[in-house]
Amino acid sequence: MTDPDFTPSRHEERTLSTTPAAHPSLRELTRSEWRWTPTVGVAAVLLLVAIRIFAPAEWTSWMTDPAKDFVTLSVSVIIESLPFVILGILLSAVVQIWLPAGFLLRRLPRNAVLRRSVISLLGVLLPVCECGNVPLTRGLIVSGLSVADSMAFLFAAPIINPITIITTYQAFGWNDGILISRIVGGLVIANLVGFIYSTHPAPQTLLTRSFQAACAVDPHAEHGTRTRRTLISFGRESAAMMPALIVGAGIAGLIQVAVSRNLLITLGSNPLWSVLALMALAFIVAICSNVDAFFILSFGSTFLPGGIVAFLIFGPMIDIKMLALMRTTFTVRTLVQVSVLIAVCAAAIGLAVNLVF
Amino acid sequence: MSFSRLITRWKGLALTLLAAIATGWLGATGQLGLYIHPRYYVFTLVMAGIAFVLTIGALLVIPGPDEHDDHDHGMHGEPDGRGPDAHGDAGAGRRRPLLALGGSLTALVIVAAAAIALLVVPPSALTSAAVEQRSLNGSSNTLANAGPPPGTSDDTSAYSVKDWASLIRQGASADDLSGRTATLTGFVTPDADDPDNVFYVARFVVTCCAVDAQPVGVPVYSPGWSSSYATDSWVTVTGAFEANPSVLSAATTVVRPDSLTAVEQPAEPYVY
């Protein structure tokens, strides 16, 4: 907790944490929950498995084809993203609990521009796509990284993670400068966002209040063994991430069923429209950055390289699922600003690539 | 009050447990392929296993017997990722019970919806409704690796729907493919322009998960097909290529079926 901005809210937190004393029943409830928890856990597991095995197909036989596709697509997003979200939560716990306090922050350069550059490059070490980066970024903010710096990490990491770079290379090689434009463009935008928000007078107000409160609890000051704290942190982060993931997956599935892709794809061969249409496609498809290169490659010659670059830069940073996940951490106002800023930058880079190559 | 508190404390674990169990069950019954590319099977199952263990572990330690309510503030009033600001205040539940209740109800609805989608609805492959949304054979490059049309000596018995669709897409005419017999398995989807006489034997090509699936298909000329075969049912077609007799259909080369039989949906309905 090196950031002085944390102090007031932390103080407030201390005050708040004494309020339960006024509600003696809360403490009692905690005890009684503790007693029935293991039984309920086992019962819940058995119940869920039983539902899955015995639920008759007739219950849902009334569903129309679009309704079935909606469920299939949403479930597909959940199952594909779940491992990365879990991995992100675990890495976040490692940063907060298993690494010594300030392990990361102490090693960062003091110069602001240099520090953000280093942070935006940290993603090279982490094979986590965008959905896993949200819990990790939350962990970094809780550990004391400034909001602006953590944004530089959040937006750069999915693009420069090693798997993304390899798959983009496999898909496009060095053709049309797509790989280079993606990496450089992603880093430039992430650093730009970081720079712009570093001038914000009250960076804490960019965060949702509930997350500000979560930041105010210093994880290193919590008691209990590390394993225990890891499990508690897992419970806390999954409470924030999982509902957002479900909602994001639902919206992504709904849009896929409702919006025809044909129009977007038809627009893809026009120098200007290709950039905008493919950004719209990236937004609604909400595909993982690790494999988006293969996805867009499958449309191959239909699209101009600038459109593809805009897709590959914009998609990992902003899409339906990401907005739902980031909403756990940033205010709506912040997300709108960031989305517009990134969209404009990605479009500019895409158009530039169309003109140059 | 205690209701809201219970929900905020357990919803994340409940959802993780749901998703982990659903994933494990799909893996155990060999149906993961309906949702994701096989290259992710191991990673997905391992992470689902870890999620399961962590959830059980978390169930055992939260809330511990000596736990103070410190942790609660982070979870309190973080209802669903959509409206944390409205009721996101630490301790909002104490000051604004109605908002906290609303947040809890939203969370309950999300958990219920996830349970239905993940555990109650039987797993299914994408349908023809998705074909309409995604332009059949519209993704050129999925189909671009086909190489030149096969010579007469080449063995084409193992060619799939995707292989033949690539050849036709690249402009292989009925002449190029004359004397070739194709055996194709896929689901039935009607031709947009001449649904009475022409249908496609189609498959979805998946690069990562069902979200990015692109339909590919080979047109089959068979007047009155819809009286015998339902859209989305699976068939195996054997037949030779010829120029499309249909005047309405945009397809140039079609398969004229020698035999057309209904089959079960294969275990891996998508191609890669």
Is B218 part of the contact surface with chain A (CB cutoff 8 Å)? no
The domains of chain A are located at 1-62, 64-356
At B225 the pLDDT is 87
Q: Least CB-CB distance to A214: which of B21, B74, B209?
A: B74
Does A65 sit within 8 Å of B40, measured CB to CB?
A: no
Q: Check pLDDT > 70 for residue B146.
A: no
Q: Inform me whether the C-beta atom of residue A60 falls under 8 Å from chain B C-beta atoms.
A: yes
C-beta atoms of A235 and B128 within 8 A: no
**Most confident of the ranges A256-265, A320-329, B242-251:** A320-329
A215-242 average pLDDT score: 78
Q: Does domain B128-263 have CATH number 2.40.50?
A: yes
Distance from CA of A2 to the nearest CA of B (A): 20
Q: Which residue of A has its CA nearest to B67?
A: A30
pLDDT tens digits along A156-213: 999 998 888 988 887 788 878 889 999 999 999 999 999 999 998 888 889 988 888 8
pLDDT value for A29: 54
Number of A:B CB contacts under 8 A? 341
Choose the mutation target among B1, B66, B128, B209 for the interface with A, i.e. most A CBs under 10 Å.
Answer: B209
- Partner-chain contact B73 A217, CB within 8 Å: yes
Token code pair at residue B209: 């998960």
Query: Would the CB atoms of B67 and A30 count as touching at under 8 Å?
Result: yes
Question: How far apart (Å, rounded) are the C-alpha atoms in residues B20 and B59?
Answer: 15
Q: Rounded to a whole number, what is the distance in Å from the CA of B265 to chain A's nearest CA?
A: 16
Closest in A66, A73, A324 to B210, CB measured: A73
Interface contact flag, A241 B140, Cβ < 8 Å: no
Residues B52-104 pLDDT 10s: 999 988 888 766 444 444 444 433 333 333 434 433 344 444 556 777 788 88
| ipTM exceeds 0.85, yes or no | no
CB contact under 8 A, B35 and A68: no
Domain-wise residue ranges, chain B: 2-120, 128-263
CA A119, CA A111: separation in Å to the nearest integer? 12
List C-alpha distances in Å: B122 to A210, B208, B264: 37, 21, 16
pLDDT at B82: 40
Cross-chain residue pair A300–B47, CB shorter than 8 Å = no
The average pLDDT across A96-109 equals 79
User: Is residue A9 predicted with pLDDT exceeding 50?
Assistant: no
Compute the average pLDDT of residues B161-166.
Answer: 83
Considering only CB atoms, A247 lies closest to which of B22, B110, B115, namely: B110
Q: How far is B15 from chain A (nearest CA, A)?
A: 6
- Per-residue model confidence (pLDDT) at position B133: 74
Q: How many C-beta atoms lie closer than 10 Å to residue A48's C-beta?
A: 20
Report helix, strand and coil shares of chain B as percent, to nearest 5.
45, 20, 40
CA atoms within 13 A of residue B145's CA, in its CB half-sphere = 7
Q: How far apart are CA A90 and CA A84, in angstroms?
A: 10
